[in-house]
Structure 1
Amino acid sequence: MAVTPPRHPGPATAFEWSRPGMHLRFEHGEDHPVRLAHWATGPDAPSVVAPMPVADYSTAGEHRARPDQSLLHWGSGPRLRYTGHEADGDELRISQREPGSGIEVHSSFRAAGPGLQIRHTVRNATAEEVVLLNVASAIVAVPEAAHDLLWGESEWLAEGRWHQRPVEELLPNVNPGFHGRRNRGNFGVTSHGSFSSGAYLPTGVLALEDGPSIAWQAETSAGWHWEASQHEGTVIVGVYGPTDLYHQFAARLAPGEAFTTVPAGFCVAGGGRDAAFGALTDYRRAIREMRPIDARLPLVYNDFMNTLMAGPSTEKELPLIEAAAAAGAEYYCIDAGWYGTGNWWTDSGDWREVPGLFTGGLVSVIEAIRAKGMRPGIWLEPEAVGEQAKAGRELPDAAFFQRFGKRVCETGHFQLDFRHPAARAHLDEAVDRLVAEFGIEFFKLDYNVNSGVGTDVDAAGPGAGLLGHTLAFRGWLSDAQARHPEVLFENCGSGAMRMDYNLLSVAHLQSTSDQQDFRLYAAIAAAAPASVAPEQAGNWAYPDKAMSSEETAFAMTAGVMSRLYLSGFLGGLGEEQFALVREAIALHKDWRQRIAVSHPVWPLGLPGWDDDVLALQLDAGDESLLAVWSRGGAVEVGLPGLRGRTLEQVYPVALPEWKVRAAEGGPVVEVQAGPAARIFAVR
């Protein structure tokens, strides 16, 4: 282990740490805690941050530092003092101690691509119990400038609705100096219950078009909160996991015990909003636990969306299997409804096929999939046990979420608690059996209910119980992949209601919505790479025989522009429609490895839910893919960000070309009335 020697003249209380493309300097002293004082792209580059203590936490019984609606520096962080640091490759570890109480905080800064993954461990080094109420995962301050703050709203069927507003509009100047006080206000977004992205997205950006921008994400499937506030010429961003104030969280630490925060990811980039999202994309790739099977990026057909809708049978599956193979699918996933007695909702949890549903048994459908050259997949909701399932009667109450001594039940579902060995063993048996008996090579893992704030079993607060479960569930998923390295696992989460990098760092694919209206899906697909690396963003493409050729191309474009997730009654399509499907699949396969290294760009800005024209560019360097969707009347659209580049329509080749003319301000596209879409190669 080695400490990077200081390269700047300064006090002995400063130390520095460098990794490729990143240089940090920290300061500490007898009268203040460790501060992140400098973050730049190199030793001689200007800093993008203002000095700010790196850690903060609150405990029961202590007085809050000030009457404030912000969590930032509410608690004991300012009382911490430096005790040491060490560097080991891509990780820097800093230790501090609170002199009065003896509580220790050990901070980890791990370089990952262009960003940092930050977390803190609070250790009770006292002789008495300590109860934590919240611990900041990361705190970063930037000098106040003309920043825009970006945040995303989300709900079922309307995921990824991004907003961009000037900071000065969200955090008004109340002239705190006149009052002899500091600002009390803040702008914050918070998760609700066990849907980590059910209301808001755990991602934010402070964008500065003519200077450095920062992007961040909370990496947890449990409660999270991030906020921005102003103080003495800075904008301060704090990222938190579950807290007492927002999530009924508490952690009891006996002497010698410790608590580690959920990770927070931070990235710095020059060039504004798109550059910040580009850096975050590379950071997300860097924290993924990739396996050789993940790198193949296979095309999956799933029989659910606008198709069987959880009503499978042999008679229904066989024509779908034939058409999916003819279209070019490489995996075929049988979705919900294959198990229990046929009630896909209340029967979930036993994971044994419905007797008599499949002629010749489920194995005959699996064999039909393999006979067409595809690999079989199947749907599971691993944390759910339906009220009618045998597992609900056989597993102990301690294996389920509980509140006040009663099982948590949401719309006929009990929630398994993966901290309990019986819960994990139950799913281990199911997954291992399905792989051994049927040769399953793809699992679509769903999560369809918000189970609330958590469980109070073996937890000081239900928010802590939820956090413990989500960490255990991630561990279970990692273990399942270690046992079955050739099996892919999708994180569905009720169509992106649990879309976070606690799970996406170990999952192969993320379904981006359950939205069945292809016109509305375009806005979701265009925004998805702001939340998920493009190669993980499973955008459904579900053509239907009732669609016109233009509508078919519109629907397929969503899939091409990230990770094509195929569905629909393909066998019922007309010849021209089916040709459009095959053409889109061929284009996606040709581009999928380049998509996996691309960066998202939004030439018309992040998509609005009701925008008539949407655009997404996947920039792979010398060549890019650009999709333009039209949902309104004919219009001309200028693309100043593509000045000096040429556009060639590459999909659909069988439909009329949209004219592109050169202009001084950049290419201008003549967009036809919608629904219609085109994909261009940008060179």
Structure 2
Amino acid sequence: MKAQKLTLESDQLRVNIHVDDVGQVLLQSIEPLSGKINLESFPKRRFDHSLLPLTQVRVDCHGNASYKTSTSLIGSTDSLNLRYESHELRSDDLSKSLDVVLKDSETGVSVNSHLQIYNGIPVLRSHVTIQNDSHKPHDLYQVSSLVVPAMARCPSWWHKYSVSYARNTWFREAQWDTQTLSSLGIDDFGIYDIPDPKDASLANFSLSNDSTFSTQGHLNMGALHGPGHTWMWQVESNAAWTWEIGDFRDNVYLATAGSTRGWSLVLQPGSSHTTCPTALACVNGDFEEAMSALTAYRRTIIRPHKDHTDLPVIFNDYMNCLLGDPNEEKILALIQPVVDAGAEYFVIDAGWYADDSDWWDGVGEWVPSTKRFPKGFSWLIGEIEKKGLKPGLWLEPEVIGVKSPLASKLPLEAFFQRNGQRVVEKGRYQLNYKHPLVRQHMDEVVSRLIETCHVKYFKFDYNIQTSLGTDTANGSSAEGQAEHCLAYLAWVKQTLDRYPELVIENCSSGGQRLDYAMLSVHTLQSTSDQQDPVRYAAIAAACPTAVIPEQSATWAYPQPDWSDEINALTVVNSLLGRIHLSGRLDLLSASQHQLVAEGMQVYKEYRSRIPYFKPFWPLGLPKWHDEWLALGMWSSAASGEAEAFISVWRRGGPTTMSLPMSNLGSRKVSVQVLYPVSMEAEVNWDSSDRALLVKLPEHICARLLKISMH
């Protein structure tokens, strides 16, 4: 056949695909079309050496070709056997897409690689559908979501490129680290200087997840930095996922998949399987510019909801407040202080369904306790509504306690199981949303609570982590887990279709499911369960890398025995995203309460701009023990003038810190302290160094600043 070139192009990105004269399809390049760097200034890459097949698959017992090992995401024999069949280009008002169909004539398996780019955003989104067009079943062990070869643009790349990734654990979410490729073992292989040249080393650096806590351990994203340009990616899976960076011939590749090595599927004749998407930003710029691109992309894929523009202040009674032990008296005592603070929702968290505090392994029916609420739960909700607050409730819709009566009423197939036994984790059974009785039960629960308790907000929490998966008839237990995760997301979508005004928060022991499979559906996200406001500052400063500001909810939980500086700091933690107000508002003094209310009022004055915020970090990405932290958000004022809102935290160190702001150029700058206005702070603009000089007298304190550029 005749070789051809396929091109997918927007105003921001060009994707070139090469089809050679035997029909092999290779991703040739992904080129940003704007930015500071002229692509023509880079040395020409050796496309003939370092390209890889567009899609990587493993079928039946076929292993790898000559490069890498079968534990890698590249190098499979089946991928080399795929040949071009057809392609189709499409476009709409928001994006352009390219479908490339390939086929393996030996197995009868076909692959559709779907690539999509967006107007105004330098991001490529990719997923793959594999179909069995033969008359016999095939065992499927791997399908890539995205493979990008030839990412390095300069010689000696192992010295000049680095990888960033984010550790993400309970109480310590979204903490980034950066290492050079060489330090990760990805180095000069010397393939052109040895007598017997090799395609690649056996080294790669990979991160993965195989549990229902999709981001426990690490976020499912990463970045590759080179001279003048950055690649940034996210794997959009709420179940298992993998990404890896490695060497191939004279360059670097990225490969991603929505599965791990324990995954498999029996692909029956006529059936198909579609991978989770991967999004890849490619910019001629630094980490912040790539983050801006990914932020804009995330805003295009989330389910539209008025909550994202209204941005109401949400009070939740859990964190550093009732801590899962609500009752009628405690809730009544909080209602007026919550109103006075400026909150607009009142969410009753865990414990409302149990007669005592020993409720962990008995959950599942979700019926309000009559012991905790002797006048009736509906009456209490009415008292909340009388004050103009919208009521909300906490639920764990994916679990049943082992002591719950419902555990014996649902069939075995309604739960995760292995070899005929239900999987037990921390006194809970994991429900399987593939089963219709599970969805029916939770439909009834949600409808009952909305109709009888006027619930306008659900906090959907998830506090167990299962990695065993569940048995299926046609695949591995890992595939059973993936099927549940997809079915759960489908159920959440259907719930929001039924109740379009309903707000559904995603929570998983704080931020253990910070992924954009969940966040493309759920309205907003709880970022952490961290109870120390000073430690939380490092999470709050880093979370815009994981979640867009209008979805990113951070706790503000003032306490009567804390100093004004600490209470102001916990408020500042939440002011550049979404506010989860909590703490003992009912016990605060008048001055303490005024300090909190001031923060909520300031927030309401600029919150309409939050859906357009773009994050930046004047002091670099925060480290867990950094003494000074700074998170900024670019904005645009109604007048068209540029503005920036900056949260600054001091957790020790010198009293004065310089925040470099060279990207402001030579414009005239004015600075003001937005919150708290009554506490001491000195803020000055150094026009010669293009830096913000901030002096904070207290050892531990925080301020919200506003910069106006004229």
TM-score band by shorter chain is over 0.9
Establish whether residue 214 from structure 1 lines up as the match of residue 222 from structure 2. Answer: no
SS in 1 for 2:30: strand
Aligned to 2:279: 265
Does residue 123 (structure 1) correspond to residue 141 (structure 2)? The answer is no
Hey, what does 1:27 align to over in structure 2?
18
1:47-446 aligned at under 5 Å gives the runs 51-65=51-65, 66-68=67-69, 69-89=71-91, 90-112=96-118, 113-141=121-149, 142-144=151-153, 145=157, 146-170=160-184, 171-177=186-192, 178=194, 180-181=197-198, 182-208=200-226, 210-243=227-260, 245=261, 248-342=262-356, 343-446=358-461
**8 Å contact from structure 1 (residues 194, 453) kept in 2:** no
C-alpha distance in 2, partners of 1:169/1:503?
Answer: 33
State the SS of the aligned residue for 2:240. Answer: coil
Shift of 1:503: 0.8
Q: Helix, strand or coil: the match of 2:443?
A: helix
* 1:340–1:389 contact (8 Å) kept in structure 2: no
Can you list the C-alpha shifts for 1:617-645, whole angstroms capped at 9, x where unaligned?
01124111111111113343222234554
Aligned with 1:332: secondary structure?
strand
Please state how far the C-alpha of 1:101 moved relative to its aligned partner: 2.1
Is the aligned partner of 1:637 residue 2:646?
Answer: no
SS in 2 for 1:655: coil
Offset of 1:43 from its aligned partner?
10
The residue type paired with residue 142 of structure 2 is N
Q: Is the aligned partner of 1:617 residue 2:617?
A: no
In structure 2, the CA distance between the partners of 1:88 and 1:563, relative to structure 1 (3 Å rule), is: same
Matched letter for residue 285 of structure 2: G
Deviation at 1:665, TM superposition (A): 2.5
Please say if residues 672 and 683 of structure 2, whose CA atoms lie closer than 8 Å, have aligned partners that are also in contact. Answer: no
Deviates more, 1:573-582 or 1:35-44: 35-44
Alignment partner of 1:560 is 2:580: no
Q: Is the 8 A contact 2:680 2:697 kept in 1?
A: no
Determine if contact 1:563/1:592 at 8 Å carries over to the other structure. no
Paired position in structure 2 for 1:463: 478
1:608 to 623, 638, 642: 623
Sort the Cα spacing of 1:81 and 1:672 in 2 relative to 1 into closer, same or farther, 3 A: farther
After TM superposition, give the deviation of residue 72 of structure 1 in Å.
Answer: 2.0
Deviation for aligned residue 1:332: 0.7
- TM-aligned CA distance change 1:71 to 1:459, over 3 Å: same
TM-score, normalisation: structure 2? 0.91
Pick which of 430-439 and 70-79 moved more. Answer: 70-79
Distance in 1 between the 2:256 and 2:548 partners?
Answer: 21
Give the deviation of 1:376 after TM superposition. Answer: 0.4
Structure 1 gap segments, 5+ residues each: 1-10
Q: Report the AA paired with residue 272 of structure 2.
A: A
Q: Contact (CA 8 Å) 1:293, 1:488: kept in 2 or not? A: yes
Aligned to 1:674: 699
> Which stretches of structure 1, 4 residues or more, deviate above 6 A after TM superposition?
47-50
- Tell me which moved more, 174-183 or 406-415: 174-183
Match of 2:680 in 1: 656
Amino acid at match of 1:187: F
Partner Cα separation in structure 2 for residue 290 and residue 372 of structure 1 = 28
Deviates more, 1:434-443 or 1:573-582: 573-582
Aligned position for 1:13:
4
**Cα deviations across residues 181-208 of structure 1 (Å, max 9, x unaligned)?**
2121011111141111111100111123
Percent identity, aligned pairs only, is: 33
CA distance in 1: counterparts of 2:34 and 2:652, whole angstroms:
50
Once structures 1 and 2 are overlaid, which stretch shifts more, 475-484 or 622-631?
A: 622-631
* Aligned-pair CA distance for 1:648: 1.9
AA paired with 1:604? Answer: L
Unaligned runs of 5+ in 2: 637-641
2:459–2:507: 8 Å Cα contact kept in structure 1?
yes
Distance (Å, rounded) in 1 between the aligned partners of 2:689 and 2:269? 65
Q: Per the alignment, do residues 350 and 75 of structure 1 end up closer, same or farther by CA in structure 2, a change over 3 Å counting?
A: farther
**How far does the alpha carbon of each residue in 1:530-589 deviate from its partner, in whole angstroms, 9 at most, with x for none?**
011111111111011111111111111111021111101112112222222112111222
> Which is further off, 30-39 or 575-584?
30-39
The structural deviation recorded for 1:305 is: 0.3
The 1:307/1:262 distance shift into structure 2, 3 A limit, reads: same
Q: 356-365 vs 151-160, which deviates more?
A: 356-365
The offset of 1:32, in angstroms, is 5.3
Equivalent residue of 2:509, what SS? helix
Aligned 8 A contact 1:398 1:457 in 2: no
Q: Following superposition of structure 1 onto structure 2, how do residues 437-516 of structure 1 map, counting pairs within 5 Å?
A: 437-516=452-531
Residue range with higher mean Cα deviation, 113-122 or 403-412: 113-122
Q: Is the 8 A contact 2:12 2:34 kept in 1?
A: no
Native 8 Å contact 1:128 1:254 kept in 2: yes
Distance 1:515 1:161 in 2: 14
Residues 33 and 77, structure 1, Cα contact 8 Å, conserved in 2: no
Distance 1:380 1:153 in 2: 27
- Following TM superposition, by how much is the alpha carbon of 1:130 offset from its aligned partner in structure 2, in angstroms? 0.8
SS at match of 1:239: strand
Residues 455/75 of structure 1: CA separation in 2 closer, same or farther (3 Å cut): farther
Cα distance in 2 for residues equivalent to 1:319 and 1:17: 60
Aligned length in residues: 669
